[in-house]
Amino acid sequence: MRFIMNGINGNYLQYITENHSADTEEVIAAVAYATESSLLFDWCLEREIPLTFYGRLDEDVPVSYAILDKFLKKKSPNFACFLVQHHHAKIIWWKGVGVYVGSANLTQSAWNKNIEAGCFFDEAEISEEMEADLNKIFEKLTENSTPLTEELANIMKDRERSIYRNHPKPDAFWKESSLKTWGGLTHVSRLAAEKVRKNAFLEEWYSTLQVLRDIADTVSTSDYRPIWVNASAPKGSQADQFLHAYYYQRTFDGRKANYRKHFEDNKTRKLDALQEAMKWWHKLPSPPQNEDIVVNEKAPLIQALLSKEKLSSMSYEDFHMLCSTVHAFIDYSRRVKNKSVKLKTDGTKYTIPQKIDALSHRIWNDQTENGLTVRDVLSFILYGGSQDQLPERLWKCISDPQWKLEGLGVSALGEIVGWALPERFPPRNGRTSKALRSLGFPVKIHVQ
């Protein structure tokens, strides 16, 4: 974590935009006041980085008309703008890089001259709880927002002129029929908020689980199974590798997956898009990226390793092999801070296998606040009750410090569950969710 304090400590927000454009998948910004487009908006537009922006809605025009006009002229689903009453947050999430939470608005003074204070968390430092809280903010903003339209932009343009001429009429402003008014937040206890989070997680997880099950049932049939996939391979593993191949072969535009555009294209035709993708998969004469090895060879080995009998006596070597195979774990190892896995912080460049070694060692030797090891946690999730209640146990192990191990987030655990019980729970990780979104399914994408 870094303090962003401008001239006080020499850390500026421009450092992110100047050095991390290649790593940024998309930007979600909830910043109340915005008058300078060059700081973030132009940066995203010029680099075709998808941007969702939430600005403040009130009679003082906190977001300039010039910025609103840029969004309208772009005419792209990858650049969305919403205005929200009672919004005062300053959050910018460069997905794939990290998130800023602080005091700086999108103005030249805030980014360069003012005394501002904020924290920048690298992507690897964003915990499941923090991710859930960030998403909750964006969901609340979306729920109470006025989406940008020509009508809204014209209202703000007229209001801007009125303020300039010193003839403001706030009562008239709020009578505009296209504005969505909102009374603001009401007091909610921490216990009630936690229950809302849990219910939202379970609702989304179960609905996505059924989508994956339906895909697994279909893609594993002879009508859609490629000739190089064994018919006896677990159907959940087949679904996982189908989505793996589709994501990497059909959604990338250069170095980046453009799954947001595919989502917009397919959200009203997701069944057609899915069938087209499965037909493409069926006709592949050979696997694009060793999907045959994963589904035919590795999947049965991992399933046996995670059986109830084997798990109780799992060795570190077994766990390391598991970590070296789980896609979500490998992906997280790329981003994890060297310091957090006891590697040198002197600028040494470590390979992915070295990062996996360090991360797997740390998790293996770690314990939850309740004194549980990784074997205990995995045993609890997989075999600590009925399979019907498994998602609830999964939630407990990503949200409750008594059960949570740092570095084993919902993406890694969801994938591990799928390798252990593929017939009932097809593997799910961040890549799985991105593939589903590209096919038009409105699923949630978890950071780790």
Kind of pairing between the strands at 90-95 and 79-84: unpaired
Which stretches does DSSP call E strand in 223-281? Answer: 252-253, 256-257
Q: Are residues 93 and 206 in the same domain?
A: no
Is 168 a domain residue? yes
Q: Are residues 173 and 228 in the same domain?
A: no
Which stretches does DSSP call E strand in 19-113? Answer: 26-31, 51-56, 79-84, 90-95, 98-102
Q: Are residues 304 and 432 in the same domain?
A: yes
Residues forming a β-bridge with 11:
6
**CA–CA separation, 405 and 399 (whole Å):** 10
Region of 149 on the Ramachandran plot (φ > 0 left; ψ -120 to 50 alpha; else beta): beta
Is 443 a domain residue? no
The whole-angstrom distance between residue 208's C-alpha and the CA centroid of its chain comes to 15
Specify the pLDDT at position 167.
65
Of 151, 171, 186, at which residue does a domain stop? 186
Specify the pLDDT at position 170.
64
Specify the pLDDT at position 336.
85
Is 251 a domain residue? yes
Q: Are residues 122 and 201 in the same domain?
A: no
Of 186, 213, 232, at which residue does a domain stop? 186
Is 302 a domain residue? yes
Is 27 a domain residue? yes
Query: 359: closest CA among 401, 330, 387, 381?
Result: 330
Q: Are residues 122 and 204 in the same domain?
A: no
CB 213 within 8 A of CB 278: no
* 164 burial level (CB within 10 Å; 0-12, 13-18, 19+): exposed
- What are phi and psi for residue 96, nearest 5 degrees? 95, -15
Q: Are residues 198 and 53 in the same domain?
A: no
Is 55 a domain residue? yes
> H or E element: which one contains 235?
helix 235-250
CB 30 within 8 A of CB 93: no
Q: Are residues 250 and 140 in the same domain?
A: no
Of 165, 186, 207, at which residue does a domain stop? 186
Q: Starting from the edge strand earliest in sequence, which strands make up the sheet with 90-95, in order?
A: 2-4, 118-122, 98-102, 90-95, 26-31, 51-56, 79-84, 145-147
Single-letter amino acid, residue 299: A
Specify the pLDDT at position 169.
66
Q: Are residues 271 and 312 in the same domain?
A: yes
Other C-beta atoms lying within 10 Å of the C-beta of residue 245: 20
CB 251 within 8 A of CB 258: yes
pLDDT digits (tens, 9 = 90+) for 235-271: 999 999 999 999 999 998 877 788 888 998 999 999 9
* 96 burial level (CB within 10 Å; 0-12, 13-18, 19+): middle
Q: What's 166's DSSP letter?
A: T
CB 102 within 8 A of CB 29: no
Q: Are residues 175 and 199 in the same domain?
A: no
| Domain tally, the chain | 2
pLDDT digits (tens, 9 = 90+) for 125-157: 888 778 888 988 999 999 999 999 888 898 899
Q: Which domain holds residue 424?
A: 192-438
Specify the pLDDT at position 447.
66
pLDDT digits (tens, 9 = 90+) for 289-322: 999 999 999 999 999 999 999 998 999 999 999 9
Q: Are residues 146 and 107 in the same domain?
A: yes
**CA–CA separation, 240 and 246 (whole Å):** 10
Q: Are residues 221 and 125 in the same domain?
A: no
CATH of the domain at 19: 3.30.870.10
Which residues touch 102 (CB under 8 Å, ≥6 apart)? 4, 90, 116, 117, 118, 119
Is 77 a domain residue? yes
pLDDT by residue for the chain (448 residues), tens digit each? 899 999 999 999 999 999 988 889 899 999 999 999 999 999 999 998 989 999 999 989 999 999 999 999 888 878 899 999 999 999 999 998 999 999 999 999 999 999 999 999 998 888 877 888 898 899 999 999 999 988 889 889 988 888 877 766 666 787 777 788 888 887 767 778 788 888 888 888 998 999 999 999 999 999 999 999 999 999 999 999 999 999 999 998 877 788 888 998 999 999 999 999 999 999 999 999 999 999 999 999 999 999 999 998 999 999 999 999 998 899 888 888 888 888 888 888 899 999 999 999 999 999 999 999 999 999 999 999 999 899 999 999 998 999 999 888 899 999 999 999 999 999 999 999 999 999 999 898 876 6
**CA–CA separation, 436 and 210 (whole Å):** 12
Is 448 a domain residue? no
Q: Are residues 76 and 203 in the same domain?
A: no
